[in-house]
């Protein structure tokens, strides 16, 4: 599935499509989900949410749900974290709308399992230096 690379961009739309980083590891069956909603979650109604142009949040959610997709948490994607850092599903989206059908099916078939991962910003990952000790 492709989705806007940076849904938080005020001007992002369907024309801004880039490949979405994978949130699953086919070898281990792990499907990564952020353990807690990040403080700047686009689904966060609080003032700390990433600012979007009016109507963009609803449009983005509708597009993702219409295609049966999911949202990759922006705090698990470059440039926030280094290239190659494993991406994870957005906790805010999953809490609000549930797991995508494909994830549910993978779990039911026994080929996938949810693994909750911490917010890379809280664990010290940075685009400049990788995971900090």
* pLDDT tens, per residue, the chain with 133 residues: 334 334 444 444 444 456 778 999 999 999 999 999 887 887 876 666 677 788 888 898 999 999 999 999 988 988 888 777 899 999 999 999 999 999 999 999 999 999 999 988 776 665 544 443 3
How far is residue 127 from each of residues 10, 51, 69, 98, 121, measured CA to CA in Å? 22, 22, 26, 30, 10
The pTM score is 0.75
Q: Are 92 and 37 in contact (CB under 8 A)?
A: yes
Residues whose CB is less than 8 angstroms from the CB of residue 109 and which lie 6 or more positions away in sequence, other chains included: none
The pLDDT score that the predictor gives to residue 49 is: 66
Lookup: tokens for 48 = 């700390």
Q: For 1-133, where are the alpha helices, taking DSSP H only? A: 56-66, 91-97, 101-109, 120-123
Comparing CA positions, the residue from 94, 93, 92, 112 lying closest to residue 103 is 112
How far is residue 99 from each of residues 29, 68, 130, measured CA to CA in Å? 15, 10, 29
Residues whose CB is less than 8 angstroms from the CB of residue 81 and which lie 6 or more positions away in sequence, other chains included: 75, 120, 125, 126, 127
The pLDDT score that the predictor gives to residue 7 is: 45
The pLDDT score that the predictor gives to residue 12 is: 45
- Which value, to the nearest 10 degrees, does the dihedral of the CA atoms of residues 42, 128, 15, 34 take? -40
Residue owning tokens 């909750």: 116
Lookup: tokens for 133 = 């000790």
């Amino acid at each position: 599935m492709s989705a806007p690379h940076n849904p938080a961009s005020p001007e992002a739309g369907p024309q801004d499509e880039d490949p979405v980083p994978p949130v699953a590891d086919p070898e281990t069956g792990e499907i990564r989900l952020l353990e807690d909603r990040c403080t700047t979650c686009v689904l966060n109604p609080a003032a700390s949410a990433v600012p979007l142009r009016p109507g963009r949040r609803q449009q983005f959610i509708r597009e993702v749900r219409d295609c049966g997709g999911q949202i990759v948490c922006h705090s698990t994607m470059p440039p926030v974290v280094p290239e190659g850092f494993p991406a994870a599903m957005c906790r805010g989206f999953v809490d609000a709308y549930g797991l995508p059908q494909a994830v549910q099916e993978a779990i039911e078939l026994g080929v996938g399992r949810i693994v909750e991962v911490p917010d890379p910003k809280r664990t010290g990952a940075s685009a400049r230096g990788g995971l900090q000790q």
